Amino acid sequence: MSTDSFPDGFLWGTATAAYQVEGAAHEDGRAESIWDRFSHTPGKVKNGDTGDVACDHYHLYKQDVAMMKQLGVGGYRFSVSWPRVFPQGVGFANARGMAFYDRLVDELLGAGIRPFVTLYHWDLPTALHDRGGWANRDIAGWFSDYAAAMTKALGDRVKDWITLNEPWCTAFLSYEFGEHAPGLRNPALAVQVAHHTLLAHGMGMQAIRAAGNMQTRVGIALNAGYNLPLADSEADRVAAENAVDPLYEWFVPTIFNGYYTERLFDDSKYRSPDIRPGDMAVIAARNDFLGVNYYTPTRYTVVDGQVRSVRNPNGEYTEMDWEVDPEGLYRLLLKLCAQTKNQLPLYITENGAAYPDIPAADGAIHDADRVSFLKRHFDAARRAIREGVDLRGYFVWSLMDNFEWAHGYTKNFGIVKTDYITQRRVFKDSALYFRNVCAANAVV
Ligand code: FCB
């Protein structure tokens, strides 16, 4: 293995999520999700954009799989739209919706691409939201039933399951900060929702294992951030080390150690959720792997004796105004490895960047910034592996430009450009670069 290469069998992939790419919002019996309702509410999403059509992946999945094959990826992480397969969230399964995922999985396997299926990437059926949604404890059971049904339908071919994507977003971004569907601002409810997401994960894992086979593996994808000091000073270092990183602390110690750290509730904003006997054991059940979604670190400094998270004036930033810091990824991987005693395989389930992508005269996208971003993050991952981290794969976010939640279509994360009018896909330079990385299994 040369110094730039990854271990044999390392899985390179691309990632998407149902509401961001599928479109076909009203087809074949699909019902409404909280994101349909939210995006159709004036003022919630930039330019009033919705996922009604998005990348029309529902119809164009064959060509999208062919495109992935051309890129030479070994894995595709996609999510199932819950209201497409269970329009009421529970009960009646919509065969036509199920059939789409059946076709997609077969197409992927035919192309030699391993499916990683996320069951919940934020598009809750509104039928369930109207019954209390994530704030209702029953959701853990609703989710497990859905997870079991999907495993029964696809588990003969799909080995890798991700219960939830970024529960921090489901709980806090959606219920405290109001930026994501359903757009509420209620910290107490957010904490309860966080607990229910964890419970749904734990019960969901049980359901998937019960419905699966010997090869079934299940995990979760967390947006685990990383704290860094703003300045190279003792005070800032201590501030960063001691600051509660909400992305990390609500979910990592809970899932791996079975408790909420007390300091989460030091802040008078949050009180402990309603935890029933047995919950923490369910939540802390063994995971087969952990998915890490990494984009950016959080910088801390001390101002007038107070610890603050701040923008780095000397930092490099993407179009999302997220600081570029591959070192944060390297340190995060080492930290997770230490915290899980290196007993848990890790996957980077998302990493990538939005840039303006101004087309050249011939229409090509020479996204040198994204190429450089990816190269430096791949290198951080490679260094972490050299340090002994059991990192098994890396999914780039995203396969193609898509509906970026509250930003609508204004932020491009794709390594492939999507023309939303013609639905033409065009490889950006970063796609060509990624193809070389996949072929060499090395940072090139
Ligand atoms: C993550 C989401 C993903 C995408 C990227 C940019 O938080 O999981 O769907 O929007 O951010």
Of 55, 48, 2, 58, nearest in space to 26 by CA: 58
Residue nearest to atom 10 of ligand 1 (CA): 404
Q: How distant, in Å, are the alpha carbons of 231, 304, 341, 370 from that of 312?
A: 9, 18, 32, 20
- 358-379: pLDDT as tens digits: 999 999 999 999 999 999 999 9
Atom of ligand 1 nearest to the CA of 20: 9
pLDDT band for position 266 (50/70/90)?
Answer: confident
**Binding-site residues, ligand 1, Cβ < 6 A:** 17, 20, 165-166, 223, 293, 350, 397, 404-405, 413
Calculate Rg over the CA atoms of the chain. Answer: 21
Distance 116 CA to ligand 1 centre (A): 16
Helix then strand then coil, % of the chain, to nearest 5: 40, 15, 45
Rounded Cα–Cα distance for residues 119 and 99 (Å): 16
Of 329, 338, 344, nearest in space to 289 by CA: 344
Beta-strand relationship, 416-418 and 425-427: antiparallel
Please classify residue 79 by burial: count the beta carbons closer than 10 Å to its beta carbon, then call 0-12 exposed, 13-18 middle and 19+ buried.
buried
- 187-237: pLDDT as tens digits: 999 999 999 999 999 999 999 999 999 999 999 999 988 999 999 999 999
For the sheet with 298-303, list strands across it: 227-229, 298-303, 306-310
Rounded Cα–Cα distance for residues 140 and 150 (Å): 15
Q: Does the residue 318 lie in any domain?
A: yes
Task: Supply the pLDDT for residue 307.
Answer: 93
Q: 287: Cβ–Cβ under 8 A, 6 or more apart, which residues?
A: 205, 218, 219, 220, 255, 344
Model confidence at 1: pLDDT above 70:
no
Distance 397 CA to ligand 1 centre (A): 8
Of 420, 413, 410, 426, nearest in space to 359 by CA: 426
- 129-157: pLDDT as tens digits: 999 999 999 999 999 999 999 999 999 99
Atom of ligand 1 nearest to the CA of 166: 8
Q: Does the residue 6 lie in any domain?
A: no
Atom of ligand 1 nearest to the CA of 354: 6
Q: How distant, in Å, are the alpha carbons of 42, 205, 296, 386 from that of 161?
A: 35, 9, 25, 27
Q: Phi and psi of 217, rounded to 5°?
A: -130, 140
Residue nearest to atom 9 of ligand 1 (CA): 17
Distance 394 CA to ligand 1 centre (A): 15
Q: Does the residue 62 lie in any domain?
A: yes
SS3 label, residue 216: coil
Q: Does the residue 99 lie in any domain?
A: yes
**Torsion sign over Cα 413, 418, 420, 423:** negative
pLDDT band for position 119 (50/70/90)?
Answer: very high
Distance 404 CA to ligand 1 centre (A): 7
Rounded Cα–Cα distance for residues 391 and 11 (Å): 9
Residue nearest to atom 5 of ligand 1 (CA): 397
- 330-341: pLDDT as tens digits: 999 999 999 999
Range of the domain at 358: 11-440
pLDDT band for position 246 (50/70/90)?
Answer: confident
Q: Does the residue 1 lie in any domain?
A: no
Atom of ligand 1 nearest to the CA of 165: 8
Q: Does the residue 2 lie in any domain?
A: no
Inter-residue contact 436 to 444 (CB < 8 Å): yes
Pocket test of ligand 1: the residue of 397, 401, 409, 410 to mutate, having most ligand atoms within 8 Å of its CB, is 397
Pocket test of ligand 1: the residue of 370, 404, 409 to mutate, having most ligand atoms within 8 Å of its CB, is 404
Model confidence at 275: pLDDT above 80:
yes
Q: Per-residue DSSP letters for 24-88?
A: -TTSTT---BHHHHHHTSTTSSGGG--SSSTT-HHHHHHHHHHHHHHHT-SEEEEE--HHHH-TT
Distance 158 CA to ligand 1 centre (A): 23
Extract the runs of DSSP E, i.e. beta strands, from 260-321: 289-293, 298-303, 306-310
Distance 1 CA to ligand 1 centre (A): 33
Q: 152: Cβ–Cβ under 8 A, 6 or more apart, which residues?
A: 211
At 400, which CATH number?
Answer: 3.20.20.80
Pocket test of ligand 1: the residue of 293, 373, 415 to mutate, having most ligand atoms within 8 Å of its CB, is 293
Q: Does the residue 3 lie in any domain?
A: no
Q: How many domains does the chain have?
A: 1
- 288-343: pLDDT as tens digits: 999 999 999 999 999 999 999 999 999 999 999 999 999 999 999 999 999 999 99
Distance 403 CA to ligand 1 centre (A): 10
Inter-residue contact 301 to 310 (CB < 8 Å): yes
Q: Which residues of 398-410 are buried (b: 16+ CB within 10 A; e: fewer)?
A: bbbbbbbbbbbbe
Pocket test of ligand 1: the residue of 166, 168, 324, 350 to mutate, having most ligand atoms within 8 Å of its CB, is 350
Active site residues: 166, 350
Q: Does the residue 287 lie in any domain?
A: yes
**Residue with the two structure tokens 């019954």:** 131
Residue nearest to atom 4 of ligand 1 (CA): 404
173: tokens are 């971004």
Count the residues in the chain. 444
Atom of ligand 1 nearest to the CA of 413: 6
